[in-house]
C-alpha cells in the first residue's frame, strides 16, 4: 500500500521566515492534496496537484509536485501566526479521484513572534 | 453553506455500550468516508462508501460498522466500544478527489 512520509515532523519558525514542508510517496503519485488542520479540529483543503511539475499558490503558500521524485513540497513565504497548525499531505492511491486518500502523519508548524 | 456535520462533537462512554456517530453532508456527494486520527499514527481510513448501499473497508475497519441508506448520511456505528477506540474521528465527503471534512468527534471509551 502507498505510504506518505512528511518531513520535518515538527517545525518552529520565527514570524516572517520562510519554510518548506516535504511529502514523499512510496509509490507513483496520481494526485497530491495538501490540508491544514488546527489542533483538534477538522482538516481544511489547501491545494490539489495532479500533474508533474505543477505548481499552485494561494496567498503565501505555494505547493509543487515533482512526479519523478514522487514528492511534493509546500512552501510558506513570510510566515505568520495564522499559518500555525498541522499540515498534512494526502495522496490518491489509484488516481480515480474517487477513493479514500492516504495521508502522511503531518507536520506540526509553530510560528513564534 | 456547503458543509459536513458530525454529531456528537465530544463523547465519553463506557466499554461495551453501543454508540453511533452521525455524519451528514449537503453537497450531494456520492463518496463519503470515515477516518480516525491518533497521535503518532496519523489519519487512517476506517470505511468508505462510493454511493448509496455501497460500502467498503478501509485500513482499520475492525470494531466498526457503517451504513449508507441515503446519499447525505453516513453514520459510524460502534457496536461494542473498547478503550482502543478512543480517538478523534472525522467524516469526509469527496468530489473529484477533494475531501471535505467534518469538524471531528472526540471519543473517549473508559
Per-residue pLDDT of B66-105, as tens digits, reads 999 999 999 999 999 999 999 999 999 988 778 899 999 9
| pLDDT attached to residue A108 | 95
Chain B residues in contact with chain A using a Cβ-Cβ cutoff of 8 Å: 30-31, 33, 35, 40-45, 48, 50, 58-59, 88, 90, 92, 94, 96-104, 106
> pLDDT tens across B18-67, in order?
999 999 999 999 999 999 999 888 899 999 999 999 999 988 999 999 99
Q: Is residue B83 classed as helix, strand or coil in its secondary structure?
A: helix
Residues A25, B89 contacting (CB under 8 angstroms): no
| pLDDT attached to residue A98 | 61
User: Residue A9: pLDDT above 90?
Assistant: yes
> pLDDT tens across A70-95, in order?
999 999 999 999 999 999 999 876 66
Nearest to B40 by CA among A43, A6, A106: A106
The angle at the Cα of A18, spanning A83 to A41, to the nearest 5 degrees, equals: 20
Chain B hits for A100, Cβ within 8 Å: 33, 35, 45, 48, 58, 94
**Mutate: best of B48, B97, B105, partner A, most A CBs <10 A:** B97
Nearest to B42 by CA among A2, A1, A29, A5: A5
The cell numbers describing B49, all together, are 462508501
Q: What are phi and psi of A77, to 5 degrees?
A: -100, 135
**Mutate: best of A9, A29, A43, A48, partner B, most B CBs <10 A:** A43
Amino acid at each position: 500500500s502507498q505510504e506518505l512520509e512528511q518531513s520535518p515532523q515538527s517545525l518552529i519558525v520565527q514570524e516572517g521566515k520562510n519554510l518548506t514542508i516535504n511529502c514523499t510517496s512510496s509509490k507513483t503519485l496520481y494526485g497530491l492534496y495538501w490540508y491544514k488542520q488546527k489542533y483538534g479540529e477538522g482538516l481544511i483543503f489547501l491545494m490539489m496537484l495532479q500533474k508533474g511539475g505543477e505548481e499552485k499558490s494561494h496567498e503565501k503558500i505555494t505547493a509543487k509536485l515533482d512526479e519523478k521524485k514522487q514528492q511534493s513540497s509546500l512552501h510558506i513565504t513570510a510566515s505568520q501566526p495564522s499559518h500555525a497548525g498541522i499540515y498534512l499531505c494526502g495522496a490518491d492511491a489509484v488516481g480515480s479521484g474517487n477513493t479514500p486518500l492516504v495521508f502522511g502523519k503531518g507536520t506540526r508548524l509553530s510560528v513564534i513572534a | 453553506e456547503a458543509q459536513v456535520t458530525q454529531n456528537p462533537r465530544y463523547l465519553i462512554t463506557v466499554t461495551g455500550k453501543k454508540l453511533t456517530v452521525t455524519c451528514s453532508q449537503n453537497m450531494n456527494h456520492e463518496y463519503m468516508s470515515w477516518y480516525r486520527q491518533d497521535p503518532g499514527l496519523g489519519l487512517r481510513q476506517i470505511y468508505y462508501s462510493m454511493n448509496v448501499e455501497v460500502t467498503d473497508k478501509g485500513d482499520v475497519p475492525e470494531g466498526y460498522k457503517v451504513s449508507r441508506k441515503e446519499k447525505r448520511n453516513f453514520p459510524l456505528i460502534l457496536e461494542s466500544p473498547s478503550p482502543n477506540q478512543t480517538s478523534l474521528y472525522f467524516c469526509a465527503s469527496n468530489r473529484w478527489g477533494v475531501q471535505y471534512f467534518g469538524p471531528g468527534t472526540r471519543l473517549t471509551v473508559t
